[in-house]
Amino acid sequence: MQPDTRNATPEFPPDELLIFIGHSDDASAEAEALKLLRPEIEKSFREFLKVNLHRSRFRRWVFWEWREDALPITGGQEAVVRDALDHARIAIFVFKERVGAVTWQELEKVRERSRKQRLHILAFFPEKQPDHGTFPNAEAKLQAAEDWTALLKRQMQLTSDWTEKNSCSLTPCPNYQNCDDLVKVALEKLKVAMADILAVESPAYLPEPLPQVDVSVALLQRYHATLKQQFGDMTLMGSPAFGHVPLKLSETFVSLSLSGSLHCEDRTTAQGCRCDDVVYEKSSTPEKVMRGVFFEQRCSLLLIIGEPGSGKTTLLKHYALCCLDEQQRERYGFKRAVTVFFLPLRELQKRGNRYRSLEENLAASSHKQLLTIKKEHFTQWLEQPSALVLLDGLDEISNVNDRIAACKWITRTVRRFTKAKFVVTSRSTGYRKGDGIEIEAGHRRADILDFSLEQKREFLQRWFKAALLAEIRPGTIAFKEWQAEQESRATGKAQAILAFLEDEKNKSLRLLAGVPLLLQIMAMLWKERGYLAEGRIELYDAALNFMLDYRDRYRAIEPSLAAKDARRVLSPVSLWMQDELKKDEVDRAEMQQQMQVQLDTLNKSLQAEDFCRNLVDRAGLLLEYGDHHYVFRHKSFREYMAGVQLVKNMHRPDALKNLVSHFGDDWWTEVFRFFIAHVEDADLFNRFMELLFDSPVTDALEPKQLDLLITLIEEAPQSKSDALKNKLLAPGTTLERQRYLLECLKAFHKPDAEAVIQEFRKSGLSKEKVIVADVERDMLEAEYILIKGGTFVYSRTKKPETVPELYVAKYTVTNRHYRRFTGYLDANEPEFAERVPVETYRKSLQELASGIEGFSEWLKKEPALVSRFRSFYDDDKRFNKDEQPIVGVSWFAAKAWCLWLSLLEGESARYQLPDEVQWEWAAGGQRDKRDTVLKVRYYPWPEEKGKPDKTRANYNNHEGGTTPVGRYPEGATPEGLYDMAGNVWEWTENLYKKEENWRALRGGAYYSDKADALRCSSRYADLPRSRNSYIGFRVIRSSHSSSS
């Protein structure tokens, strides 16, 4: 547009909503494309008027664009434009190749006006420099480059301006790829702006305020539009490496697999009655889980548990977008429009010692999104029949007492808003009943599973496609040809990385690749470097270096700080957030202050504000959260760097002692793992263990703490067991510590640690109550304890039953022992194969199967025995640790195991599953009262210990899954059988009922929420082919006297 000094007198009716379109000549095509939106804008305008009962002073609207509305007018164009800007309530500015001096003046004018009047200003910039084709000369090429550079600088200026206090801010808009993309994004932005204008504008002649319901509907539309904008666009991990690539979540989301266990505990009565509900555990899709929980189970709360990086927040965003979409919501069970709400639980605000109400917190959260919505509106919306409340990140409340209070707040909220549906997410470490962290309101739990092979393939294909299509297309190739080429490259890269992961030597990385975040890091590194790091720590290290430094160097751009220097700043700040701030979001000014202290120590320093801008805009490591806060793109990056800094701080007095004091705090779990993985000093590891076992922390470790301790031993790159040895052999060491020390020493899997265990056993220092029992071991070194025979009143028949003496396995079969079996079937156990050739075993197995209903048919479905018998959860880190009980194996597999063990020792019927009579006698027979025929004890442990609690058994989801065998010595039988109550149900030999093919189970499981399930007489049943996460087995063998 060229300015003109002549006069003009345009008319702007007061009831007309004016939408100004400003642009330079180079963006004329884009402006024309926007004007084609008139029919859709008109439709939305009429709908908004109807919502407000036509109480707005605006009765019509108009696009105003200078070529169409100023050029035809006789008079000064400058005056015309000035008046149009003064009357516009929505102003759109489109840039393409250059800034345009007049257009920029118009933008600045309307921004200044926005200080005094409520306006919506939308500025759209291209994602990449337009393709100019061949330039006529070098000067033209240089001019185009200078114009583009100037445009980028102005865009950066605006981006910086709209985050500052008292800014004449624009509404941030994603960059556009082409005209179609511009039109799509602009339409959504215009709808939000128009809804806002019509909701707050009322004619002067109406004395009464707008009816509350009318404003409420318009505000809800604005709230939902903001959620769509916030969740609809996402960026690739490390996206600054590829430019800020605008991606739609709907186009990149790979459906996660959720494992849901819906259990009915009433089935486990002593009389053997089963409830009608069938227990099931299966992998399902997000939509099926939501539909099943809310509408089939008629439960109003879904709890989603996932490990770090599993995609919990992404799943909630997916739920929000799909349920807001009228075309998709029915897949999730909703028949009518859904009112969706989203609240990060770390934002919960308190009044005094109690959390504020849900509607107060939602109002406060909406304010961070520049929305002014009163709590009364949220109250009204929450009482609608199709309200869906998404509460993200229970684990991100760092203080355990606050998290317990949050659970009670959730329970009160669910019970208050009876029509609403709720979804809550948490890491497993942040939700443990054993810590008192429990949502008492009725709910169903679903765990996010690691990516399957097919999900990995789909994710990588989508990721590489998005990343490669974000590259700049060469001007010498047509778009469709280039697109096909890029998609082909994406397929090739996805296949290459999958092939790399399938290599047996990369097994550790293959397991890590099941975590969506880590797979994304792998893809990012593979795209740029063509190879992967060696493990979890190396992946984080490489990802940080790439995001902070190498990405720019690849493009011949000098980074603001080298990666080493950037991490010298970020690591102490991360530890400060972890140790002092104790939360994931941090005030921008406060973080910059902390950073400046570290920056000033560097040879090459810069201002913290500039460094943070680089971390947001270039590195993509930080995200701006609301108006005044930062958060790390993923909290695990912060936890990683906090762990690194802890190692650096070890020279400081009391640093190790202070660290030990945090042991067992959920907020510190991942930090401990990252810390120990960087301890490349066996003496430091030894000092850590020494201080830990001298600390009150180890007076009484909970199972989760002992699990973490064993994990640290297994993941430490360098370690020694001297401190543990000294503590174990010290006369003053308590019984509890002796138990913990023995488990820790086993975790070393080293001869010197095993030698310490043997020395302790011979020393007489053990404070364990001496159990005089006849113990034998099988070829796998599993222990069997002799249970004397006797007569008792059997719970099912109420009649006496006599049981001969027999050896019963001290523990249920573990993963470590069961893998020896599958290893044998996979030709990886030559010692066993020499004793019993696999083909010999196969023939014996077929003979056994032929005599059991359904066994032969089950075998034929999978000819490869190793695949047939491998645990369903062999790659599931929740259940696959060596000393955890084997789960995910059928009754048929348990029988096959017994046959294998018997053949190895040369007696075909030596090992077997106990029948229910044998199991009940072993668990609770009162063998100390041999002169009287009695019922069994209520529970396996001596009666004076009383009812179950979390020190005697793993039940009631205290630990959220199975624990290693032998973890509950207080719950052992007088003879020393462990875990006869809780942890896993155990297969038994006999049928549940003669007329059914279901097999009986005994013992209760980790999820059993009623103590009745743990009684020695309680029973349950399942199909012999079932492979569930809560069923394992224990083996018996006949004694020499009984067999003779």
User: So what's the pLDDT on residue 247?
Assistant: 53
Contact 1013, 268 (CB under 8 A): yes
d(CA 406, CA 665): 17
pTM for the predicted model, two decimal places: 0.66
Q: Higher-confidence residue: 1027 or 163?
A: 1027
pLDDT at residue 579 tops 90: yes
Contact 1021, 274 (CB under 8 A): yes
User: So what's the pLDDT on residue 248?
Assistant: 60
Q: What is the CATH number of the domain that holds 36?
A: 3.40.50
Tens of pLDDT, residue by residue over 603-644, are: 988 999 989 988 887 777 888 877 788 989 788 889 999 999
Nearest C-alpha neighbor of 772 from the set 756, 759, 788: 788
Nearest C-alpha neighbor of 375 from the set 357, 351, 355: 357
d(CA 1000, CA 991): 6
| Most confident range, picked from 215-224, 233-242, 359-368 | 359-368
Element housing 840 (H / E)? helix 838-850
Q: Are residues 665 and 689 in the same domain?
A: yes
Asked whether residue 238 is assigned to any structural domain, the reply reads no
Last residue of a domain, one of 493, 512, 532: 532
Sheet holding 1019-1022, edge to edge: 1019-1022, 999-1002, 985-991, 1031-1032
Residue 387: strand, helix, or coil: strand
Q: Are residues 516 and 580 in the same domain?
A: no
Asked whether residue 332 is assigned to any structural domain, the reply reads yes
d(CA 240, CA 619): 6
Q: What is the CATH number of the domain that holds 605?
A: 1.10.10
Confidence band, pLDDT 50/70/90 cuts, at residue 282? low
| Most confident range, picked from 281-290, 428-437, 837-846 | 837-846
Contact 795, 935 (CB under 8 A): yes
Please report, rounded to a whole number, the percentage of residues in the chain having pLDDT higher than 70: 88
d(CA 1003, CA 74): 93
Mean pLDDT along residues 172-201: 82
pLDDT at residue 234 tops 70: no
pLDDT at residue 459 tops 70: yes
Mean pLDDT along residues 924-938: 91
pLDDT at residue 283 tops 50: yes
Q: Are residues 162 and 126 in the same domain?
A: yes
Nearest C-alpha neighbor of 731 from the set 767, 687, 698: 767
Confidence band, pLDDT 50/70/90 cuts, at residue 551? low
Q: Are residues 951 and 811 in the same domain?
A: yes
Contact 747, 874 (CB under 8 A): no
Confidence band, pLDDT 50/70/90 cuts, at residue 758? very high
Mean pLDDT along residues 337-347: 95
Asked whether residue 36 is assigned to any structural domain, the reply reads yes
Length of the chain equals: 1044
> Would strands 911-912 and 1036-1038 be described as parallel, antiparallel, or unpaired?
antiparallel
Q: In whole numbers, what is the pLDDT of the chain averaged over residues?
A: 85
Residue 706: strand, helix, or coil: helix
Q: What is the CATH number of the domain that holds 918?
A: 3.90.1580.10
pLDDT at residue 58 tops 90: no
Q: Which two tokens stand for residue 645?
A: 């800094």
Instruction: Give me the residue label for tokens 């000035």.
Output: 82
**What is the C-alpha R_g of the chain?**
34
pLDDT at residue 897 tops 80: yes
User: So what's the pLDDT on residue 323?
Assistant: 94
Q: Are residues 140 and 25 in the same domain?
A: yes
Residue 981 structural domain: 783-815+882-1043
The set of residues, in sequence order, having a beta carbon less than 8 Å from that of 751 and lying 6+ positions away, is: none
pLDDT at residue 78 tops 80: no
Q: Are residues 520 and 661 in the same domain?
A: no
pLDDT at residue 204 tops 50: no
Q: Are residues 616 and 702 in the same domain?
A: no
Last residue of a domain, one of 600, 620, 636: 636
Last residue of a domain, one of 449, 469, 501: 449
Q: Are residues 544 and 501 in the same domain?
A: no
pLDDT at residue 241 tops 50: no
Q: Are residues 889 and 955 in the same domain?
A: yes
User: So what's the pLDDT on residue 272?
Assistant: 34
State the SS3 of 22-69: EECHHHHHHHHHHHCCHHHHHHHHHHHHHHCCCCCCCCEEEEEEHHHH
Q: Are residues 512 and 656 in the same domain?
A: no
Asked whether residue 856 is assigned to any structural domain, the reply reads no
Q: Are residues 919 and 1039 in the same domain?
A: yes
Based on the structure, what is the number of domains in the chain?
A: 6
Max distance between CA atoms of the chain, in angstroms, equals 120
pLDDT at residue 834 tops 80: yes
Confidence band, pLDDT 50/70/90 cuts, at residue 556? low
State the SS3 of 640-660: HHHHHHHHHHHHCCCHHHHHH
Tens of pLDDT, residue by residue over 386-412, are: 999 999 999 989 888 999 999 999 999
d(CA 245, CA 465): 12
Least confident segment among 77-81, 255-259, 582-586: 77-81
DSSP state of 935: B
Asked whether residue 264 is assigned to any structural domain, the reply reads no
Instruction: Give the side-chain half-sphere CA count within 13 A for 271.
Output: 4
d(CA 185, CA 900): 65
Contact 276, 267 (CB under 8 A): no
Mean pLDDT along residues 551-574: 80
Contact 756, 721 (CB under 8 A): yes
Q: Are residues 1029 and 923 in the same domain?
A: yes
Asked whether residue 135 is assigned to any structural domain, the reply reads yes
Mean pLDDT along residues 352-358: 94
User: So what's the pLDDT on residue 213?
Assistant: 41
User: So what's the pLDDT on residue 193?
Assistant: 85
User: So what's the pLDDT on residue 743?
Assistant: 93
Q: What is the CATH number of the domain that holds 307?
A: 3.40.50.300
Contact 448, 517 (CB under 8 A): no
Helix and strand numbers (H, E) in the chain are 39, 29
Confidence band, pLDDT 50/70/90 cuts, at residue 71? low
d(CA 427, CA 458): 25
Tens of pLDDT, residue by residue over 772-825, are: 668 888 889 999 999 999 999 999 999 999 999 999 999 999 999 999 999 999
Contact 174, 246 (CB under 8 A): yes
> What is the CA angle 122-128-129, rounded to 5?
105
> Would strands 806-809 and 354-355 be described as parallel, antiparallel, or unpaired?
unpaired
Cα-Cα-Cα-Cα dihedral of 316, 318, 323, 328, to 10°? -150
Contact 925, 939 (CB under 8 A): no
The residues facing 448 across adjacent strands are 258
Asked whether residue 758 is assigned to any structural domain, the reply reads yes
Q: Higher-confidence residue: 951 or 160?
A: 951
Q: Higher-confidence residue: 786 or 256?
A: 786
Query: How close are the terminal C-alpha atoms of the chain, in Å?
Result: 107
Please report, rounded to a whole number, the percentage of residues in the chain having pLDDT higher than 90: 50
Q: Higher-confidence residue: 212 or 857?
A: 857
d(CA 555, CA 551): 7
DSSP state of 950: T
DSSP state of 192: H
Contact 254, 310 (CB under 8 A): no
CB atoms within 10 A of CB 582: 12
Asked whether residue 524 is assigned to any structural domain, the reply reads yes
Cα-Cα-Cα-Cα dihedral of 800, 806, 807, 811, to 10°? -20
